[in-house]
Structure 1
């Protein structure tokens, strides 16, 4: 697998991958030892990753916040936690920490399908994928990353162009979602979730995820988990985690700095996108998914 660092990203199999994912990590993914009771949460960034993580954590803990293994929040499957590109080759990568975790493991990832550990499909580990309206994703990502963006991408129009280009770090949204929808939907160990459905039918989706994970929980516990995974309740939980002595801020913030929780609204793109930009997304969606049964709420 060819991979060379250029600036703050590596080019691997034609995909630009952020410096936190060195080529050696994606080589390791080919032989990463998957367990049958593993749970993988896969998303394109800013698509509800931590929302679904909290739901899954609580389902596995039978609704008890105190029983969640919070160390699982500290690592991403493909990411290496370190100060910068110069340290990534010597720091311990996330998947190496995960090898030491007790089962059941809940592992989050933004990897494109081609890079996921192949043992996932052999061992029938559970995979939950969340897709969100790309118009909301690009707005959320822009505000999330603004402080660390290169100067030219701080211009909103330039950022939109970058987001819709094949050169997007981590792969573009359209290819990311297309591959998971067309190649994984229908597999018994795969559940495709739409962010907008989580917003419209929060409790119903919590129950669906519980059934997918084989968790037969009472209606009272489902109610409790639904209540604990509203945005306000999660903010309270995250505030409490950050207030703990010796708190690891990487549990609640990217790089210990950028908050994982934003407003999480549906349709926020209308406040920021021009009519021309919205039309561009509509056209790319129509072209990408023209031969599929994929639909997404983009109003």
Structure 2
């Protein structure tokens, strides 16, 4: 027998066994998900399922289970964590620009050619899909996962975490407009606010998500940097410098004198990024079930836009929910 033919047959058999194994694992995940509580108010493939206190789409949960079983963190990994629509795009852009400032000049930076979500791997999507690859010089990883769903290896290896949150009223406005870009069930804005207050939002309840990370940042400030979107908007340069220190890439005195932090601030500003051609016409995750135009990540980026959407009744409801959820925690927005 031709040895090369035998080798090809062995490779084919191995691929078949791997596919069967992957199918069996997927089937196992689906059986687990089928027995989880689900949001009965909607009937859709985009139904939300409750797992360990948080709501997920079933496809996300499959990826979460796979991630928890298979992801091995590296001690140098840095996780950019956030609830959806809380300033993730901006924080990823700033983190990427800080970490790569000596690799690219102002004209060649990948942020000018792709949205920041393409520059930093997303754990739930990229690792489970097989498209995940580590940049050996850039150990930034993105995720929306609650703290209790992160792979155990993240804690075993004491990986650093940067977390950002946002005033829940502005967040729910951003979430409402973003959801309209997908084939997800669409609710009126009033009903969206109600469901958000009930905790039934993607990766929600929001307040539980925030509090988990905030408490860990209080216990281990050397491991978790906790940021508020509003604070960063008010004093951007200060937080860029703090972020660089936490990421292990502090600005040198010479860089400070040359205005490098200011250049990064301007490069990653909403005005600059939203006006790039790639963020006007580019497509994120093209061809997938969650394909979306890059422009969806750049709506307004304003603090206080909720005032243009909320009635007094809605404001009182979400403010009361926030007060109840955060009572006794020591944390405030």
* TM > 0.5: yes
Normalising by the smaller structure, the TM-score range is 0.7 to 0.9
TM-score (norm 2): 0.74
2:41 corresponds in structure 1 to: none
1:73 corresponds in structure 2 to: 117
1:157 corresponds in structure 2 to: 190
Residue range with higher mean Cα deviation, 254-263 or 137-146: 254-263
2-structure distance, mates of 1:20, 1:97: 16
2:164 corresponds in structure 1 to: 130
Q: Deviations over 1:13-47 (max 9, x none)?
A: 35331244143532432441111221211111110
Q: Does 1:52 align with 2:91?
A: yes
Contact kept, 8 Å, 1:39 with 1:127, in 2: the verdict is: yes
2-structure distance, mates of 1:292, 1:204: 26
1:115-264 paired onto structure 2 within 5 Å: 115-148=149-182, 153-187=186-220, 188-217=222-251, 218-219=255-256, 220-237=259-276, 239-240=277-278, 249-250=284-285, 255-257=291-293, 259-264=296-301
Offset, 1:295 = 1.6
2-structure distance, mates of 1:35, 1:9: 34
Q: Give the secondary-structure state (helix, strand or coil) at the position aligned to 1:41.
A: strand
Q: Does 1:279 align with 2:312?
A: no
Q: Give the secondary-structure state (helix, strand or coil) at the position aligned to 1:79.
A: helix
In terms of fraction of residues, the more helix-rich structure is: 2
CA-atom RMSD, angstroms? 2.8
Residue range with higher mean Cα deviation, 44-53 or 102-111: 102-111
2:46 corresponds in structure 1 to: 8
Q: Give the secondary-structure state (helix, strand or coil) at the position aligned to 1:283.
A: helix
Contact kept, 8 Å, 1:72 with 1:106, in 2: the verdict is: no
2-structure distance, mates of 1:127, 1:223: 24
Contact kept, 8 Å, 1:41 with 1:108, in 2: the verdict is: yes
Q: Give the secondary-structure state (helix, strand or coil) at the position aligned to 1:211.
A: helix
Q: Give the secondary-structure state (helix, strand or coil) at the position aligned to 1:104.
A: coil
2-structure distance, mates of 1:278, 1:56: 33
Gaps of 5+ in 2: 1-28, 39-44
1:266 corresponds in structure 2 to: 303
Offset, 1:292 = 1.8
The number of equivalent residue pairs is: 278
1:72 to 1:286, Cα distance in 2 relative to 1, 3 A: closer
Gaps of 5+ in 1: 81-91
Offset, 1:154 = 3.1
Q: Give the secondary-structure state (helix, strand or coil) at the position aligned to 2:56.
A: strand
TM-score (norm 1): 0.82
Residue range with higher mean Cα deviation, 20-29 or 188-197: 20-29
Q: Deviations over 1:242-290 (max 9, x none)?
A: 77xxx65439x96233611121100111111011111112111211111
2-structure distance, mates of 1:288, 1:200: 26
